[in-house]
A and B are shown apart, each in its own frame.
Chain A
Amino acid sequence: MIPILGLAAGVLLGLFFDPTVPLWLQPYLPIAVVAALDAVFGGFRARLDGIFDAKVFVISFVSNVVVAALIVFLGDQLGVGAQLSTAVVVVLGIRIFGNAAAIRRHVFRA
């Protein structure tokens, strides 16, 4: 319950205060969101599996976001930014799908 409240509070804070993001950071926001989504789904699934661990969750979240942004940044510097973001999105997308399927099995027993 508390994590969901935290998520809702974050969304509301972002919508109401409308913080300005520095221009150099803006291209990496979408990929960071996908990475964060992956960590959140992973954490939710772990919780349903009964093996959730706060430390693992926080570390996986931070490293996911940072590494995803870093890969895209590196790709931009090397001139393959679009391709690398596609790669990141594909890998994270597959993981999100897999975790969502596991969550679905837990919730609906199907």
Chain B
Amino acid sequence: MTALSRGGAPRSLGASLLDAVLAETLDPAYAQAAQARATGRVAERPRWRGRLLVALTMLIAGLLVSVTYDQAAAGAEGREKVREALIDDIDRESSASDDLGAQLQDLNARVTAARDEVLTHSAVGQQALDALARAEQGSGAVKVTGPGLLITVANADPTADADPVGGAAEEDPRGRVRDGDLQQVVNALWAAGAEAISINGQRLGPLTAIRFAGEAVLVDFKPVTNPYEISAIGDPDTLATRFVLNPDVQDLGFISKSFGLRFDYARRDELTLPAASTPELRIALPEAPAGAPATDPTPGG
């Protein structure tokens, strides 16, 4: 009966808005209606009408609740479905791309085999084949194995004194490995006499770019992630000596020490580097018909 007494007595004028919100949880209209009924100022309405109205209102309330629930559930379900569909799409397209890559490799192998077979028959062909082998070595078109240097560069670990409560710790952008760092390491390795280099299994060809896109480092337009392992093939001892004496590398070592980056190298007796992405065929000339003057074979461009 608290509501009755509260509704009956006038509220103090000093009652603040918050007070009203906290104290007046029941609509005062109920108390007023009850009072009016008690004093007999209103005519009694038929009871069935009131009941029907109440039942109808409750029906609407139930409808509202279930419809809202449905909407919320459908929204979550829809998001999940879209996500799954997108993941399926990605999987399908990547496997299609892998298939095409495998096909390409197979066809390339067949072309190479056919070419080799034709060329081995003549002395000129043999010479051309040797030149081709050298060119392929240089352009990273073939898989190579040999001793070398393995350099590891990695982002700084999140600092221990980072706030553990505030969700994801803010990562210091200075503690991240950037494309420029990898470029410096790679350039230093070439300068030190490396014969072939790969980053996280991505072989560097003559046209391979190391770039930054958003948060990821791209090597040959394929993303590579932290930690970065750079394998270089060459004589390990000379490679290591010349590499550490490179002023760029010394700078990088100093920087990584002050910002907590990981930067170390190790000699390896055997490293295997995959072939770089298949070079595009940029120029092809039809075979000159016998008797016609031979066209200039130097590729334009």
Interface residues of A in 61-101 (CB under 8 A from B): 61-62, 65, 91, 94-95, 97-99
Interface residues of A in 1-57 (CB under 8 A from B): 2-15, 18-19, 21, 26, 29-30, 32-33, 36-37, 39-40, 42-43, 45-46, 49-57
Is A6's CB under 8 angstroms from B66's CB? Answer: no
Min Cβ gap A20→B in Å is 9
Alpha-carbon gap, A49 to B54, bound state (A): 17
Q: Which chain A residues border B1 with CB–CB below 8 Å?
A: 49-50
Is B65's CB under 8 angstroms from A56's CB? Answer: no
CB of B67 within 8 Å of the partner chain: yes
Min Cβ gap A30→B in Å is 6
Q: Which chain B residues border A4 with CB–CB below 8 Å?
A: 58
Q: Which chain A residues border B21 with CB–CB below 8 Å?
A: 91, 94-95
Is A56's CB under 8 angstroms from B29's CB? Answer: yes
The A interface is mostly helix, strand or loop, or mixed, namely helix
Q: Contacting A8 at CB < 8 Å: which of B54, B57, B62, B70?
A: B62
Residue of B with least CB distance to A98? B25
The B interface is mostly helix, strand or loop, or mixed, namely helix
Q: Contacting A3 at CB < 8 Å: which of B3, B26, B30, B54?
A: B54
Is A51's CB under 8 angstroms from B63's CB? Answer: no
Interface residues of B in 61-113 (CB under 8 A from A): 61-72
Assess A49 versus B3: contact at CB under 8 Å? Given A15-B66, A36-B61, A42-B30.
yes
Is B25's CB under 8 angstroms from A94's CB? Answer: yes
Alpha-carbon gap, A21 to B67, bound state (A): 8
Alpha-carbon gap, A54 to B45, bound state (A): 10
Residues of B within 8 A of A (CB): 1-4, 21-22, 25-27, 29-31, 33-34, 37, 45, 49-51, 53-72
